[in-house]
Amino acid sequence: MNYKEILENIYQKIAPIENIGKLATYIPELATIDSEKFGVHISTVSNTNFGLGNFQEKFSIQSIAKVLSLCLAYKHLGESIWDRLGVEPSGNSFNSLIQLETDNGIPRNPFINAGAIVIADILISSLVNPKEDLLNFIKSLSKNKDINYSAKIAASEKSVGYRNVALCNFIKSYGNIYNDPEVVLDFYFDLCSLELTCEQLSELFFFLANNGKTRQEEQILTKSQSKRINALMQTCGFYDESGEFAFKVGLAGKSGVGGGIIAIHPNQYAIAVWSPKLNKKGNSYRGMRFLEEFTTLSEESIF
């Protein structure tokens, strides 16, 4: 498969089209991003690494980081994490309070805000230095030390994070948050502020395309755990547009309101796309278009 040629053809097709959508202006720091930025990078099992556009420019990965915190919790605690959250698509907005009451404080899945907050609580209870340990875990996966939280973005999110504060306290009222909500939320806001490039992101997620192993053959997750993370990304990774992504693209993946998308084809590749303008569901407009064209032209999806 000539991925380089396919990516170049699609990039040239998508880049000039009308860039529909809006920036995530409800987070003040994200409202300042150049909306015309557009990058893509692929990392394949067959050692093809190729990028286009702004693929070496850092951006806020936002909810994509929820996959990484989940992987670290899964690695340390195994199946016990599923006692505190579910694995079903939510069908509601990513910050819904209604569903939590129906489900007695058990988040529907780890990728909605409530689920990621519970994972943050799990890591705080399980690790000595959760922020540092998570960062080191991420750096070890990408073999890149130039990755960090953004204090500016974390502060920006915290300044408007009233719904997340409500979610955390609501879950606490059901006994599914064990630590101080302020400590949990501080970790959660830092988690969402992580900044990476498309190149770093595709290399970082390579292990999920390689049965849980890095390029250096380090086993991060078991093959079964890797399969389950990919399954969750497939069914829950795009808010309430996950079905649409499965239908049109046919890959496991996760999006973030910073305009990034990571997509996985097990045993083939990890591909990262970044374009900041979001559609009505909160996913990158050009990113979604790009990946649909990519699996159509390559005739490769997980189905």
Task: Give the C-alpha separation, 56 to 41, whole Å.
Answer: 9
Task: Give the C-alpha separation, 111 to 159, whole Å.
Answer: 22
Query: Burial code of 244-269, b = ≥16 C-beta within 10 A, e = fewer?
Result: ebbebbbbbbbbbbbbbbbbbbbebb
* pLDDT on residue 98: 83
Q: Flag whether pLDDT at 181 surpasses 70.
A: yes
* pLDDT on residue 50: 97
State the sign of the Cα–Cα–Cα–Cα dihedral 224, 225, 229, 235.
positive
* pLDDT on residue 144: 82
Mean pLDDT along residues 39-46 = 97
Mean pLDDT along residues 105-122 = 96
Q: Flag whether pLDDT at 39 surpasses 80.
A: yes
**Predicted confidence band of residue 18 (pLDDT cuts 50, 70, 90):** confident
* pLDDT on residue 49: 95
Q: What is the dihedral of CA 112, 249, 295, 204, to 10 degrees?
A: 0
Give the highest mean pLDDT range of 26-30, 140-144, 261-265: 261-265
Residue ranges and CATH numbers for the domains of the chain are 3-298 (3.40.710.10)
Measured in whole angstroms, the distance separating CA 281 from the mean position of its chain's CA atoms is 15
Q: What number of residues does the chain have?
A: 303
Q: Flag whether pLDDT at 91 surpasses 80.
A: no
* pLDDT on residue 223: 97
Q: Flag whether pLDDT at 46 surpasses 80.
A: yes
Measured in whole angstroms, the distance separating CA 39 from the mean position of its chain's CA atoms is 16
**Predicted confidence band of residue 9 (pLDDT cuts 50, 70, 90):** very high
Higher pLDDT, 240 or 197: 197
CA angle 210, 214, 220 (to 5 degrees): 90
* pLDDT on residue 94: 67
**Predicted confidence band of residue 189 (pLDDT cuts 50, 70, 90):** very high
Mean pLDDT along residues 81-104 = 85
Kind and range of the H or E run holding 254? strand 252-255
Q: Flag whether pLDDT at 120 surpasses 70.
A: yes
Indicate the annotated binding residues: 63, 113, 157, 164, 188, 239, 257
**pLDDT digit string, tens, across residues 221-230:** 999 999 999 9
**pLDDT digit string, tens, across residues 132-178:** 999 999 998 987 888 999 999 999 999 999 999 999 999 999 999 99
Contact indicator for 298, 3 with CB cutoff of 8 Å: yes
Indicate the annotated binding residues for substrate: 63, 113, 157, 164, 188, 239, 257
- Average model confidence (pLDDT) across the chain: 95
**pLDDT digit string, tens, across residues 205-215:** 999 999 999 99
* pLDDT on residue 143: 78
Mean pLDDT along residues 24-51 = 95
CA nearest neighbour of 85 among 75, 70, 95 = 70
Measured in whole angstroms, the distance separating CA 60 from the mean position of its chain's CA atoms is 11
* pLDDT on residue 24: 93
159-163: long-range contacts at Cβ-Cβ below 8 A with a sequence spacing of 24 or more? 159/28, 160/26, 160/27, 160/28, 161/185, 161/189, 163/95, 163/97, 163/113
Percentage above 70 pLDDT, the chain: 98
Residue 289: how many other CB atoms lie within 10 Å: 20
